[in-house]
Structure 1
Amino acid sequence: MKQSIKRTPRWKHLGLGVLASMTFSAYAAVSEQDAARLGAELTPSGAEKAASKDGTIPEWKGGMSTAPAGWKPGHVDPFAADKPLYSIDASNVDQYKDKLPEGQVALIKAYKGYRMDVYPTRRSCTFPGWFQDQTRKNATHAETTEDGWKLAKAFGGGLAFPIPKTGYEAMWNFKTRYVGYARRQQISAVLPEKDGSYTENKQWFYDWYPFADPKMQSPQEVSSVESKQIYELLTPASRAGEVYLIHTFHDQPSDAWIYFPGQRRVRRAPAFAYDNPIAGFDNLYFVDQINMFSGALDRYDLKLIGKKEMVVPYNSYKLIDKKNKIKDLIKPDFIDRDKMRYEVHRVWEVEATVKSDKRHSFAKRKFYFDEDSWALLHVDMYDAKGNLWRVQEGSLWASPDIQACVTFEQQMYDLVARRYAMDNWTQEGDVIELEAANREKYNDSFFSAGAIRRMGER
């Protein structure tokens, strides 16, 4: 049944030609005239192709479309010769605070020695040709429903809203960005202690994005599945053999199942969504913080604040270098600053406020999305009193073999508990397989309760 359109004329001009907020039941993206800007003055993802006025951000010229010699994730840094242009620390942070999220300012002021080394900006992100074609189709076709938090009429294998007008559309771009169709890698989740010790959960990680297939004609064709994931724990010894299966949806809470080797059975997780804590992280990490944000959007009103130039983590090849050892990256209050790379990029800012009839431990969030890739690079999280509580930082690195910018590694800082945690770290893993050669095995059967039982029993 066709949704009726109901709009409340409540918007704010941003000087960027976008509407900052809008309430609606269904909204189609842009006109053919606007869509024609994609690939012209805009990149295929809707970013500004031109350089910034001062030249700090260069013109986008297609990104890293050719792999450098010897390319393999974690083994080659295409920008190893770059040197920092300047560093931001406690002595000069006020000079740069207009280009920093509030969370980065707070970390610099809270922890002695925390700094941000800023390198030349490299616009390395690129996209497969088919992804560009699908994105162009979605520009005039895709819609949101249910006041924005459901996606309709979008084609698979492309950004839903390359020219976003609302916070919901910006978030849908994050959810439909291309990071590969089916991936397999060894990752570590790490919880450091103040004394320098740490707990590491090393695991095999499999994930599948069925809507990344350009053959898909709508989200409903894949039952609105955003991703399906399996985590097979290898360490610590007390948890080795546990297997977790997660189904994340576009428009409903996630489902999860757990295989316990001691019981030799699979149990459905009773609550695995929103702000339910993730086991093993001492309440520092919630379910909808996985991969910077995951799950349904229905608990927040999302407002598109606009686009601005900011210092953000980018081209994180030094961090993912396979020569790194996790024990050396961990410092008492933060990860080794020598391994972090920051650049100035244009980012979209979206403010999320909990709806009056909903609840969430984070009463407000501020999301910062890279304009070139729609990766979520930074999130600030606030409590019910409006105090900054947690800071979450992502990573981004271009993988020319699959023509995509990839995000795995992330760290979460709790300013109240004065602790931090990391997830999806790939440095010590044996493999990062971004586009599985045997991708045909990644299907509904592989990501099922029966499959993780067999995986746990082998």
Structure 2
Amino acid sequence: MQKQANTPFRPRVVGAALALAFTATLSINASAAVSEQEAARLGKDLTPVGAEKAASKDGAVPAWDGGMTKVPAGWKPGRLDPYKDDKPLYSVDASNLDKHADKVPPGQAALIKAYKGYKLDVYPSHRSCPAPDIVAERTKKNATYARIGDDGWRLEQAYGAGVPFPIPKSGVEVLWNYKTRYTGLGRRAQISALMPDKDGSIVETKQWFFEMYPFNDPKTTTLKDVEGIDSKLLYDVLSPPSRAGEGYLIHAYLDKPQDAWIYFPGQRRVRRSPTFAYDNPIAGFDNLYFVDQINMFTGAPDRYDFKLVGKKEMIVPYNSYKLIDKKNKFKDMLGTEYVKRDFMRYETHRVWVVEATVKGDKRHSFAKRVFYIDEDSWALLHVDMYDAKGNLWRVQEGSLWAAPEVGACMSYEYQMYDLVARRYVTDNWTAEGEVLDLTAGKEGRVNTATFSQDELRRRGER
């Protein structure tokens, strides 16, 4: 993640309702907790976090058996792939796309058509995401308690460390499940943002990345305990030398747009940056990357209306252990047009499909976004982004892998493809980083003081 640019790539547009090619849709209603009878399904035919426990009819999606709850021998993030012996069941490419079109997101289909050699290698599906006891307990409470505010997007009340809406009735409920999904209290990692060029060169920005998710703290019983905080992020730029010392601090909220601050080493000052949000481009990425694409989607959802399209079996990135493997080097993983296919793993899973369209009185360069959110982890695995004319513009895919020491599935690496510019960017890549610390929050290596303006300044001046 890097400093914002001063001018947007395209004029911002007023959104309009755009059709999505699925038959079954669920209408948007005012949020309300489900009945005790519905909530009783959790832990029975539904998993503790609301996924369907049973296998799919054809067996492509297996039954959930608790996920990866035990730490495999030799496990350390980036040092072990529990499914390394799996072989692809089949590949989806230009020759057979029509056969699998109903399970391939439009963005992936567009990439297959656009780039020679782009394909999806589909592996056996493993429902590896666990649900710790505290998450199961809080989720069951939330089912009859959590609510969205009268404005249609604020998370008004919910218990922490649990899924707010395990049996969702609206698209914005699914989105909040994603934003507050359990991934532990805090993490720290050395990451790289990478932008391949058409001449084969790669622009790399190395950073320390610190995260904190107060809602995930088991001590959180009401939203007052987290003072309205959704997440806190801090980026400390290490290289290239021309940018070393730059820093970025983001406080995202449950009920208002995010706050952001930037440290400029040349000025030795921290400056508040109210424009570091929504569709403002991030500098250093040739206008390929907007602020609210960070971590797949960040910031307030107040500019969109969200429609819950339904649940569908789709081919999505899953168990992405190859992407974090410390044996791999970025130069070997990145092609000039896309991430090399040997490093990507796709599986068939059930996902919630949510269509977001810009409100009539709001503005955003993406007039429509379609989100694909995993039923087991509530992680956002894929996003298709459309311009004002209804044309598919950008495609973003996430990653997912189970971390048994946390009791949850993690999402780090993600890729963003621009179909107009015919270029792509990756961010949060950790394979060459020395540190990937998933329990930093629990063990005190990341805490509230980490995400202060004083800390941002201290790190820049060190």
Quickly name the TM-score band, shorter chain normalised: over 0.9
* Residue in 2 that maps onto 1:214: 218
Residue 360 of structure 1 pairs with residue 383 of structure 2: no
The whole-number CA distance in structure 1 between the counterparts of 2:384 and 2:23 is 24
The separation in 2 between residues aligned to 1:336 and 1:22, in whole angstroms, is 39
Kindly state the Cα deviation for residue 441 of structure 1 after the two structures are TM-superposed: 5.6
Amino acid at match of 1:121: S
Cα gap change, 1:374 to 1:346, in 2 (>3 Å): same
Count of residue pairs brought into register by the alignment: 441
Contact 1:183 1:436 in 2 (8 A): yes
What is the aligned counterpart of 1:448 among 449, 452, 460? 452
Displacement after TM superposition at 1:176 (Å) = 1.2
Q: In the alignment, which of 400, 404, 407 is matched to residue 408 of structure 2?
A: 404
Equivalent position of 2:324 in the other structure: 320
- Paired position in structure 2 for 1:240: 244
For 1:388-428, what per-residue CA distance to the aligned partner results, in whole angstroms no more than 9, with x for missing partners? 00000000000011110000000000000000000000110
State whether residues 29 and 169 of structure 2, in contact with CA within 8 Å, keep that contact through their aligned partners in structure 1: no
Matched, 1:137 2:141: yes
Does the 8 Å contact 1:182/1:439 carry over to 2?
A: no
Q: TM-score, normalised by structure 2?
A: 0.93
Instruction: Work out which of the residue numbers 288, 299, 307 in structure 1 matches 2:303.
Output: 299
Which residue in the other structure is 1:159 paired with? 163
SS of residue matched to 1:285:
coil
Partner of 2:388: 384
Distance in 1 of aligned mates of 2:305 and 2:139 = 25
Listed one character per residue, the Cα deviations across residues 293-322 of structure 1 (whole Å, up to 9, x for unaligned) are 111111111000000110000000112111
Match status 1:21 vs 2:27: yes
Task: Give CA-to-partner distance per residue, 1:39-94, whole Å, 9 cap, x none.
Answer: 00000110000011011111100001111110000110000110000001111111
Counterpart amino acid of 1:130? I
Match of 1:290 in 2: 294
TM-score, length basis structure 1: 0.94
Paired with 2:247 and 2:65, the residues of 1 have a C-alpha distance of 43
User: What residue number does 2:283 align with?
Assistant: 279
- The 8 Å contact of residues 201 and 235 in structure 1, kept in 2 or not, is answered as yes
Tell me, yes or no, if the aligned pair for 1:203 and 1:234 is still in contact at 8 Å: yes
Measure the CA separation in 2 of the matches of 1:96 and 1:190: 31
Q: Which residue identity does 1:219 align to in structure 2?
A: L
Query: What amino acid sits opposite 1:360 in the alignment?
Result: H
How far does the alpha carbon of each residue in 1:141-177 deviate from its partner, in whole angstroms, 9 at most, with x for none? 0000134200122011111000001001100100110
Cα distance between partner residues in 1 of 2:406 and 2:377:
14
Post-superposition offset of 1:29: 1.8
Of 412, 418, 421, the residue aligned with 1:414 is 418
Q: 2:118 is aligned with what amino acid? A: Y
The residue aligned with 1:97 is: 101
Q: Distance in 1 between matches of 2:447 and 2:404?
A: 25
Instruction: Check conservation: 1:148, 1:169, Cα contact below 8 A.
Output: no
Matching residue of 2:119: 115
**What secondary structure sits across from 1:238 in the alignment?**
helix
Give the conservation status (yes or no) of the 8 Å contact 2:188–2:446: no
| Structure 1 segments of 4+ aligned residues over 2 angstroms from their partners | 217-221, 437-446
> In percent, how many aligned pairs have the same letter?
66
Q: Which moved more, 1:246-255 or 1:103-112?
A: 246-255
Structure 2 counterpart of 1:256: 260
Determine the structure 2 residue equivalent to 1:205: 209
Match of 1:64 among 56, 60, 68: 68
Q: Secondary structure at the match of 1:148?
A: coil
Matched, 1:171 2:171: no
Aligned twin of 2:440: 436
2:90 to 78, 86, 94: 86
Structure 2 gap segments, 5+ residues each: 1-21
Distance 2:44 2:342 in 1: 38
CA drift of 1:438 comes to 6.3
The residue type equivalent to 2:345 in the other structure is R
Question: Separation in 1 of the partners of 2:145 and 2:446?
Answer: 28
1:342 to 2:346 alignment: yes
Q: Secondary structure of 2:81's partner?
A: coil
Offset, 1:216: 1.8
Q: For the residues of structure 2 that align with 1:363 and 1:59, how far apart are their CA atoms?
A: 37
**Match of residue 337 from structure 2:** 333
RCO higher in 1 or 2 (8 Å CA, sep ≥ 6)? 2
| 3-state secondary structure, aligned to 1:267 | strand
CA 1:31–1:437 in structure 2 vs 1: closer, same or farther (change >3 Å)?
A: closer
Q: Please tell me the residue identity of whatever aligns with 2:64.
A: W
